[in-house]
Amino acid sequence: MSGERAAHLISVRRLRDDPPERLVLLDVRVGVDGPDRTSFRRGHLPGARFVDLDADLAGAATRHSGARPLPDTETLTAALRRWGIHSDSTVVVYDDSRAVPAARAWWVLRWAGLPDVRILDGGLRAWREAGGALVSGAEPAVPGTEAAQPAGLPVVDTAAVAALPGRGVLLDARPREHFRGDGEFAGHIPDAISAPVFDDFDERGLLRDEHSLRTRYRDLGLTAGTAAATYCGSAMAAALQVFVLATLGLDIALYPGGLSQWAADPARPLVRGASAAPRPVPSP
């Protein structure tokens, strides 16, 4: 595993047989009705703490904020300390939903200034398939000392998103049918490129090999030095795309408001239909 990939992704085998020192495990499972604390109590990785996706990793939504705005510093700091995180902790996050909630946790924690956060490759499914043990009940609280320091990862606002396609690449991480115009927030931001992030994973939910990923994103117009951002409906799938690109050593900004914020203003256009081919990107 390359250095960049290993810095953001951890295999079940490594976690089970050679876990990092100062490990903090976070379970970010989500059910049909929201954060899935019931499933956590029934069985989770030994030592894991439960993360409430909505209460811990998002702020209160307003009419113009988008569906899942960023959490405030005080709320996030309280969560970091409740989970037992210190400045030298290695945080491993997992879920059972194709890494989307885990990616939101990965992104928020990196944005909050934590230097070592990784996603468990394949999540809970891979752990079970490898014969990993699960435990039930709640984990004892061991307070941490870390404080959130937002700005660790780049973000863009609505104005920057509108201007980006003229000088760089704007990726839409949602499934192609949503990009074309089917489903919630149907359509896409003008000149965005369809780049469904789930194509980056195999049928078992494992991240595809580095060569395949580099080829894919190069074909989409994204290389080192390219001004780029990604969005989805509410900054979940887009956070996963930021993660995937981080494993390749490529930086891309997140639009936290997502299409839910963009579409809140009827004056902002939405385009329906297939994506055009990636355009030549001006030199930086």
Sheet holding 193-194, edge to edge: 193-194, 169-172, 228-231, 253-254
Task: State the burial class of residue 34 (Cβ atoms within 10 Å of its Cβ: 0-12, 13-18, 19+).
Answer: exposed
Set 28, 197, 232, 237: catalytic member: 232
Is there a catalytic annotation at residue 232? yes
Question: In Å, what is the CA distance from 95 to each residue of 45, 119, 142, 151, 202?
Answer: 11, 9, 22, 25, 16
Instruction: Please tell me the distance from the alpha carbon of residue 79 to that of residue 112, in angstroms, as a whole number.
Output: 11
Instruction: Please tell me the distance from the alpha carbon of residue 70 to that of residue 76, in angstroms, as a whole number.
Output: 10
Instruction: Please tell me the distance from the alpha carbon of residue 277 to that of residue 264, in angstroms, as a whole number.
Output: 28
Q: How far is CA 202 from the centre of its chain?
A: 17
Active site residues: 232
